[in-house]
Chain A
Amino acid sequence: MAESTAVKAPVQKKEPLFGKKERKLITDPLDDNNPITVQVLGICSALAVTTLVVPSIVMTIAVIFVLAFSNLFTSLLRTRIPKQVRMIVQLVIIASLVTVVELTLKAVSFDVYKKLSVFIGLIITNCIIMGRLEAYAMANKPWQSFLDGIGNGLGYGAILILVALVREVFGKGSLFAGSGIEMKIIGPSAEYWINTAQSTLFGWYAPNNLMVLSPAALFIIGIIIWIQRGRNQKLVDIS
């Protein structure tokens, strides 16, 4: 025991495994440098998959996986990748990881696989991933790159799930539909918590069909950006 700590200590001093810099890699993309609301990347899939919460969560997990591991592999190979073909190599790495996700999902949860259908494949074209590989993994060490991938994936997922929560509640009146813990919140029959067919207070309510269509996601993301800029002075463009 004593020996191993003695060996580890100097290593940790030189480069802590999870120091301040590493923590920042995870927390920064959640707010100050969020891939969707600040870098404005990955909007396409944020519009498409966010009608329901469950597919959004699955999409988030898939993107975190692909982002973290493509960052890791790219970073491991960064000194060996010939500069002339670096984009192609990055794409090969991303595409194979996406295929791994697709094959796994098809085996584990066929239903969700059918629901997400083409959007899993479209992770390949998600700008966040290529952006992080170019901007971070090509110039940083594997461990930091891995964390950067997880951080950005979480930042992406946070917005995705936030948008999906709003869209599912107001569009379909349910929450977590398609999973074991589906909650029916508001709607015109007795199985909903708030039964608009009988409630005098909510008799006027009808699900908003706009929420099911993709423009709704654009509005919601716009509002999130607005609120975020109002609260976070660092993001306000002074020029």
Chain B
Amino acid sequence: MHSTGYVIRFILIITAVVALVLAFMATALKPVHDMNEAIYNKRAILSAIEDPLGQPVSELTDEEVQEIFDSSVEQKVIDMDGDVLSNDEVMTHGYADGAAEDVDMAKERKRPESERFLPLFVYENGGEKYYIVSVRGNGLWDEIWGNIALEDDFETIAGAAFDHKGETPGLGAEIKDNPNFSEQFEGKKIYGSDGDYTSIVVRKGGAKNDRNEVDGISGATITANGVQEMLYRGIKYYEPYFNSISTAN
């Protein structure tokens, strides 16, 4: 048996050594981690416009992703009234650089609805403009989110990409894993033929019309409902801004 003094000394030394090693490693790798995370987020945004890009985002290298973002993507942050915010205003919510890619939707969701900031990415390619909006909501187990690209009529969806934190693989996780699900959104309209905001209906048992309904996922009704609810609420947040620029034109 070792003495109590020895036990305490032993534990203190081992804790100090481990803490030092891990702290050093975490600090040294921090820049690489941040860069990886930034590229990962950019890929997620670009995956909403795979069609206009002409190739799957997974086939782009990190440099190409950065290059597309630098040359053809304009970042804007807007508030709930549809006004574009300056960098300084965005920083009041605690985002270091004040760019749209810094805006953390998970944090914004916790704020009162009227105070939220919304990131918007405008991708321009040969005269065609695509507006990529970010939406976030609840799935079955945890949060789900997505990026939706709208054409410049602010009505037609050009592409959609979803992700989730903890949906069931093979069921709810299909919103991300199964490309057939997100492909359905292409060409759908978020306004009915009479001009009313309808968003997209994720229909259990199969879409009933071509204009604004997509097929749900068998065995994942709650996740599918979550997607529908998230789109309905999330895209509407951008409506004031879209209205302001379509009247300006």
Residues of chain A touching chain B, judged by Cβ–Cβ distance below 8 Å, are: 51, 80-85, 88-89, 92-93, 96, 99-100, 103-104, 106-107, 110-111, 114, 171, 209, 212-214
Contacts and interface: CB of A to CB of B under 8 A. Distances in A.
Contact of B18 (A83, A96, A106, A107): A96
B205 interface: no
B1 A83 contact: yes
A87 to B, nearest CB: 12
Interface size class of B (residues with CB under 8 A): 20 to 34
Interface stretch (B4-12, B110-118, B183-191, B236-244): B4-12
**Chain A binding site: helix, strand, loop or mixed by DSSP?**
helix
B44 to A, nearest CB: 10
B1 A114 contact: no
Contacts of A103: 22, 25-26, 29, 33
12 contacts: A84-B7, A85-B11, A89-B10, A92-B15, A96-B21, A99-B25, A100-B21, A100-B22, A107-B29, A107-B36, A114-B40, A213-B170
A99 B10 contact: no
A93 B7 CA distance: 16
B223 to A, nearest CB: 15
Q: Identify the 8 closest CB pairs spanning chains A and B, nearest first.
A: A212-B170, A110-B36, A82-B2, A107-B32, A82-B7, A96-B18, A107-B29, A213-B170
Given A51-B169, A92-B15, A212-B169, A85 B36 contact: no
Interface of B: 1-2, 6-7, 10-11, 14-15, 18, 21-22, 25-26, 29, 32-33, 36-37, 39-40, 168-171, 219
A89 B14 contact: yes
Given A84-B2, A110-B40, A209 B14 contact: no
Contact of B36 (A82, A89, A99, A106): A106
Contact of B170 (A85, A89, A104, A171): A171
Contacts of B14: 89, 92
Given A100-B21, A110-B39, 18 more contacts: A80-B10, A82-B7, A82-B10, A84-B7, A88-B11, A92-B15, A92-B18, A96-B18, A100-B22, A100-B25, A103-B29, A104-B29, A107-B33, A110-B36, A111-B40, A209-B219, A212-B169, A212-B170
A106 B30 CA distance: 10
Contacts of B39: 110
B141 to A, nearest CB: 12
A111 B168 CA distance: 19
A104 B36 CA distance: 12
Contacts of B37: 110
Contact of A209 (B10, B33, B170): B170
Contacts of A51: 169-170
Contacts of B33: 103, 106-107
A85 B15 CA distance: 13
A182 B15 CA distance: 43
A84 B4 CA distance: 9
A171 B14 CA distance: 46
Contacts of A96: 18, 21-22
A81 B11 CA distance: 9
A88 B8 CA distance: 12
B140 to A, nearest CB: 14
A88 B7 CA distance: 11
Contacts of B21: 96, 100
A196 to B, nearest CB: 15
A131 B199 CA distance: 54
Contacts of B169: 51, 212-214
Contacts of A89: 10-11, 14
A51 B177 CA distance: 12
A177 to B, nearest CB: 10
Contacts of B1: 83-84
